[in-house]
Amino acid sequence: MKLFAVLLPLKDKELSQTYRPDHLAFLQKQREEGNVAANGKFTDGSGGLVIYRAASEEEVEALVKQDPFVVHSARDFEIHEWEMVSKEWA
pLDDT tens digits along 41-67: 999 999 999 999 999 999 999 999 999
Q: Which of these, 71, 43, 63, 86, lies nearest to 51 by C-alpha position?
A: 63
3-state secondary structure of 49: strand
Output the pTM of the full model.
Answer: 0.91
**Per-residue pLDDT tens for 14-29?**
999 999 999 999 999 9
Q: Give the dihedral sign, CA 53/25/28/50.
A: positive
Strand arrangement of the beta sheet that strand 47-54 belongs to: 36-41, 47-54, 2-9, 78-82
Q: What is the CB neighbour count within 10 angstroms for residue 80? A: 11
